[in-house]
Structure 1
Amino acid sequence: MSRLKIIHTADWQLGKPFGRFPVEVANALSEARLDAVDRLASAAARQGARHILVAGDVFDNVDPGDRVVTQALSRMEGANVTWWLMPGNHDHARPGGLWSRVRRLAAPQVRIVDSPEPREIEEGAWLLPAPLEHRKTVSDPTAAMVEMATPAGALRIGIAHGSITEFGATGESSNLIPPDRARSAGLDYLALGDWHGHLVVGDRTAYSGTPEIDRFGREEVGSCIAVDVRSGDAPSLTPTETGRYRWLSRRWEIQTAENIEREAAGLRSEARLSDVLLQLKLSGVASVADRVAATAALEDRLAHEVRHLDLDASGLATQPTEEDVARIDVQGALAGAAAALRARAMGGGLDAAIAALALQRLYVEAMRQGTEAQR
């Protein structure tokens, strides 16, 4: 065989709990990861690929639960494609463990590659897997590929889970893979997992990224790679979007409430808000009235438009104005307290921020009582 089209994917981490989020958000994110299996099958159909290679971390852990395993296998069974599933560090292989169970339940088109042995995926095309038997290992999981024998002229496609580089990690490295492994093992392509972003290393090695982004700090949409492997030539790599949710981090400079509306309008034009998880930090200096109006606009509207809002308004300083105090329709001791709080907030001392927040709270309560009195 001189040519083979495949879909390269990795790091599904099915069953990931997303425990930091409210239950309804966590459930939606978990379900989207299962839906990504269907989107990968659709990508394979569009690209004319008969095989989908999953380079590790199919599941988030070695005991993902019956529903997750059954849902994943059911969706794979319904696709007209062969799936090649390899253990990674999150779902590493162990005797009698997860992968023995998956093998018993899987349909014939779902193949488990949990041993470092060459597998013929089509006539003239061989898969050279490097499954992980432990979550961490200091040895190179791809070293055995060099000695894996395949027929002369056959396509050699490696699949592994580990780090070409430390990716900014500290401490002892694990599952490290030499960046020239494709060359040293005579591979036509090396499909990697572990790094959750799309990354090409040389002309025959790549990380596919995860099909569904799972953390802030990655602005891209989840994706896979459509790979056209050709004997004697570098493979053609086509990133293909598969993700639903966008994890966006933004910092908005606020002076008035109108700034919020302008920024929110820009965000609406950028993405479908119901599919956005937004990590938002506010900065700037605003009056009490503008700060209250700005945060209310976020909490009363934008928070309900996006899938999830992670709001940090600690960087938005309050600079009370005379108009702020005047709008707090109080008399006697409270009026004196309002004036004193403004003076402290404007004084710039150690307790200025606390005084500003106290005045803001008084402002909110005064506005609320005023609204209720008008009913």
Structure 2
Amino acid sequence: MRILHTSDWHIGRTFHGNSTMDALAEVLGALTAQVRENAVDVVIVAGDVFDSATPAGAAYTLLSDALVGIHEAGARVIVTSGNHDSAARLGFQSRLLREGIHVLTDPLAIGTPVTLGDDDGPVHFYGVPYLEPAIVRQHWGGVELRTQAQTLAHAMELVRTGMRENGGRSVAIAHCFAAGVDATIGLEREVRQGGLDVVPLSVFDGPDYVALGHIHGRQRVSDRVRYSGAPLHYSFGEQDKPRGSWLVDLDASGLSAVEWLDLPVPRRLVTLTGELDEILSAENVAAHADDWVCAVYTDPLAQTEPMRRLRERYPHCAMVQHQPADSLERSERSYTDRLRGAVTDTERIGAFLEHVRSGHGPTEREDDLIREVLEDRVRAEALV
């Protein structure tokens, strides 16, 4: 049996205020073509199908078009819910779809597989929707479920019980933060609470393959436990991570091969670092005018209207940051510390300017002006 493992479509997510719907439709169209070209039997979507618990109507349309297109390309589809999805809304969608498209959102059905067959016999697919401990613990009295790790460990015990009852080959699908993975800073932490919700690799013992979602970059946790990542780049922190999916082959004895299939990137992401004039140079513009651009300019002082100037050259500039070249070398004393150490008014003003200018204090000319103003104030007070 040939399986395509994808996840984290995040239908409806914007990229710095820009819609990603057209780009995602393009990429999912390419994924559908891969299903046909590689004679894929089953496509797994491991959670975070939508980006919101209340997706707009256009998001439902894109999902329906994608799932029906994949099915018409010759594959059956198995979808589970992630932490961004509303399990109820995603589950409702399943009733409107045709046979051969399975949407698994019910925690009480974790141990009951979707069973599909090939020439070597049955393959049992166990879908584990995203499980919020505070919500699902009511279903399993007497089991301590305070963290994601505990909850997913219990869910996988239900999967292994189902495996013993059904026999044959098996695939598990889950949405979580597994131990040992490399996350995108600021993007994939919401499923965790400190370190308690990291799921140990041993939790996934048993199935021939475990298709995970939540991490947006391709990850190989072990030969049989993997993340496919998201099909689009949704942040500049992901810009160097490939986009695609895992092509998984099962033979009569279990997992036989796993291959990575790249997906197209509709618009590249690039971070340009240097002084603003350098970023705006003809050479840079020629190379990156059509890219999503994050500009990190290193001029000592903040420049006037940098975003306007950047967008005149880079129509798709999405982010601008001021990070002076020596910022990492400067003292990390807080503003309060600098004020506490200041003795004179001149030093206090200098500390303020250093704070608001990302570490750059007054220039020599500004020092002269500050002294003149302070001296004028002293003379004025002496006349009162």
Give the TM-score taking structure 2 as reference length. 0.67
Instruction: Note closer, same or farther for the CA distance 1:142–1:172 as it changes in structure 2 (3 Å cut).
Output: farther
Paired with 1:178 and 1:316, the residues of 2 have a C-alpha distance of 40
Q: CA deviation at 1:145?
A: 1.9
Q: Secondary structure at the match of 1:249?
A: strand
User: Structure 1 residue 83 and structure 2 residue 77: aligned?
Assistant: yes
Paired with 1:257 and 1:88, the residues of 2 have a C-alpha distance of 43
Q: Match for residue 218 of structure 2?
A: 198
| Alignment check: 8 A CA contact 1:203 1:235 kept | no
| Alignment check: 8 A CA contact 1:37 1:75 kept | yes
Q: In structure 2, which of residues 139, 158, 164 is the aligned counterpart of residue 144 of structure 1?
A: 158
Paired with 2:321 and 2:113, the residues of 1 have a C-alpha distance of 51
- Residues matched between the structures, number: 298
| Alignment check: 8 A CA contact 1:209 1:222 kept | yes
Q: In structure 2, which of residues 160, 166, 176 is the aligned counterpart of residue 162 of structure 1?
A: 176
Q: Match for residue 246 of structure 1?
A: 268
Q: Match for residue 118 of structure 1?
A: 113
Paired with 2:38 and 2:241, the residues of 1 have a C-alpha distance of 21
Residues 282-319 of structure 1: per-residue CA shift (max 9 Å, x gap): 22579xxxx89x99874422x22xx33422356379xx
Instruction: Note closer, same or farther for the CA distance 1:349–1:252 as it changes in structure 2 (3 Å cut).
Output: closer
Give the TM-score taking structure 1 as reference length. 0.68
Q: Match for residue 128 of structure 1?
A: 126
Q: Secondary structure at the match of 2:312?
A: helix
Q: Match for residue 172 of structure 1?
A: 194
Paired with 1:120 and 1:35, the residues of 2 have a C-alpha distance of 31
Residues 242-288 of structure 1: per-residue CA shift (max 9 Å, x gap): 4423332232257x6598233444x44xxxx53x22111122579xx
Q: In structure 2, which of residues 215, 240, 244 is the aligned counterpart of residue 223 of structure 1?
A: 244
Paired with 2:133 and 2:274, the residues of 1 have a C-alpha distance of 40
Q: Match for residue 373 of structure 1?
A: none
Paired with 2:278 and 2:225, the residues of 1 have a C-alpha distance of 49
Instruction: Note closer, same or farther for the CA distance 1:119–1:153 as it changes in structure 2 (3 Å cut).
Output: same
Query: Over aligned residue pairs, what C-alpha RMSD do you find?
Result: 3.5
User: Structure 1 residue 15 and structure 2 residue 12: aligned?
Assistant: yes
Instruction: Note closer, same or farther for the CA distance 1:353–1:76 as it changes in structure 2 (3 Å cut).
Output: farther
| Alignment check: 8 A CA contact 2:27 2:263 kept | no
| Alignment check: 8 A CA contact 1:15 1:60 kept | yes
Instruction: Note closer, same or farther for the CA distance 1:130–1:152 as it changes in structure 2 (3 Å cut).
Output: closer
Aligned-residue identity in percent: 20
Q: In structure 1, which of residues 22, 28, 42 is the aligned counterpart of residue 33 of structure 2?
A: 42
Paired with 1:353 and 1:229, the residues of 2 have a C-alpha distance of 72
Paired with 1:66 and 1:232, the residues of 2 have a C-alpha distance of 40
Alignment of 1:1-375 (within 5 A): 4-18=1-15, 20-21=16-17, 26-27=18-19, 29-79=20-70, 80=73, 81-93=75-87, 97-114=88-105, 115-116=109-110, 117-123=112-118, 124-134=122-132, 137-138=147-148, 139-140=151-152, 141-149=155-163, 154-165=168-179, 167=183, 169=189, 171-173=193-195, 176-182=198-204, 184-185=205-206, 187-218=207-238, 219-230=240-251, 231-252=253-274, 260-265=281-286, 267-268=287-288, 273-274=289-290, 276-283=291-298, 298-301=310-313, 303-304=314-315, 307-313=316-322, 315=324, 350-352=361-363
Unmatched runs of 5 consecutive residues or more in structure 2: 135-146, 327-358, 367-384
Instruction: Note closer, same or farther for the CA distance 1:281–1:264 as it changes in structure 2 (3 Å cut).
Output: same
Paired with 2:46 and 2:117, the residues of 1 have a C-alpha distance of 18
Q: CA deviation at 1:176?
A: 4.0
